[in-house]
Amino acid sequence: MAEPDRSDRDNDGSTAGDHGGEPLIVHSTPVPDPLDLLSQLPRPAAFSWVRHGAGLVGWGEALRLTLPLGDDRFTAAGKWLRAAFDGADVRDEVRRRGSGPVAFGAFTFDDHSAGSVLVVPRVILGRDGNGAAWRTTISRRGAAADPGDSDGDGAADPVPLRSPAGITWRDGSLPPAQWERAVAAAVGRITRGDLRKVVLARDLYATAEDAIDQRVLLGRLAARYPDCYTFACDGLLGATPELLISRAGREVRALVLAGTTPRGATSAEDERNAAALLASAKDNEEHAYAVTSMRESLAPLCAHLDTAARPELVRLPNLLHLGTPMRGKLSGDPSALELAAAVHPTAAVGGTPTAPAVELIRELEQMDRARYAGPVGWMDAGGDGEWCIALRCAQVDGNTVRLFAGGGIVAGSVPAAELAET
């Protein structure tokens, strides 16, 4: 897939892996509560991590690392980021999680795919939802000024919002009928005993008359799905309810989702759908694989890990999910990025067992997922941060958007129903 549009990248955005020889200069200060973080974004390209109005947004680029393919991409990213943060000249008047230098990241699902990225924005605006807000500016000593920054403080002159128009659609890697056949083939492999679950995804393309303003899409997603994490990094944006991992000091949290059904048109229908989902053997089987996968990956890193005994309903405006929250306390000091690497890919986006599921994904999907279903999120210099699974998302590239959706396939899956879910 083509690289995302870089037309509004700042002049001091570095090339892949280049720290530029100059340390970062970081300044975080308290600011009045902006109330709506997304409304503060001045440019069409954006960084976002917002839920219930709280979180982080950013713009511009002070540093960038684009990683090649390989199973060491998380380790390489962590070393690069630690070097950048350890060498930074930081003045943090806020001193809270998410202040000081912060990097946003998006990683490929498959280690056979290139394009994982970490970006340190030039400006980050944070809000904790309790009235506290802060602004962080990040630059490199001697770097060229941004021509869109009229007063030199990293506050680029705003570009007016523009909604996309003239949308046309086309199939992605597999037309619907072929994708149903891929699902049927997966069910056959599962029935034969090759594996127990595989997650199959499909893509779809939309093209607009002009370049897509990411802020418009982010605003719509945040308004419709406030319980989700509305994220954006390097053109990958979406709203996902699935928290892969959150670290705050030694406290760690995750929310495992698997098993889905539509909301009902009436309250009575909605409750029937909810009861059916909770009772569904197929959906509970799919969910159990995801929970086991997460627990087996995360438990060795924790002094203790609490997992809900049974899944609960996660209600979104359009869907119902089975969800299992997890909370634990770390036994060591792995960073949020290291934790994300340890638990990816979960059975919620890959399958069970992992290795044969990923091989079957490569065979049947006939597409490169790129950063779909990979970890996306942020991390600060203290190692705290949050990463979700990039679901319900799209990659924006100029005036084209590549959308993704998938579903967990088990022995009881019906191809037509799985297509309808996507």
Q: Which residues are catalytic?
A: 197, 242
Q: What angle do CA 380, 385, 390 make, to 5 degrees?
A: 120
Helices (H) and strands (E) in the chain, counts: 8, 23
According to DSSP H, which parts of 244-308 are helical? Answer: 267-279, 281-298
Q: Which residue, among 138, 157, 158, 140, has the nearest Cα to 149 in the 3D structure?
A: 157
- CA-to-CA distance for 120 and 63, rounded, in angstroms? 5
How deeply is 18 buried, as exposed, middle or buried, from its count of CB atoms within 10 A (0-12, 13-18, 19+)? exposed
Residues β-bridged to residue 86:
none
**Dihedral sign (CA 7, 405, 348, 97):** positive
CB 12 within 8 A of CB 120: no
- CA-to-CA distance for 111 and 76, rounded, in angstroms? 13
337-to-107, 238, 262, 307 alpha-carbon distances in Å: 10, 20, 33, 22
CB 356 within 8 A of CB 345: no
Q: Which residue, among 298, 315, 188, 191, has the nearest Cα to 252 in the 3D structure?
A: 298
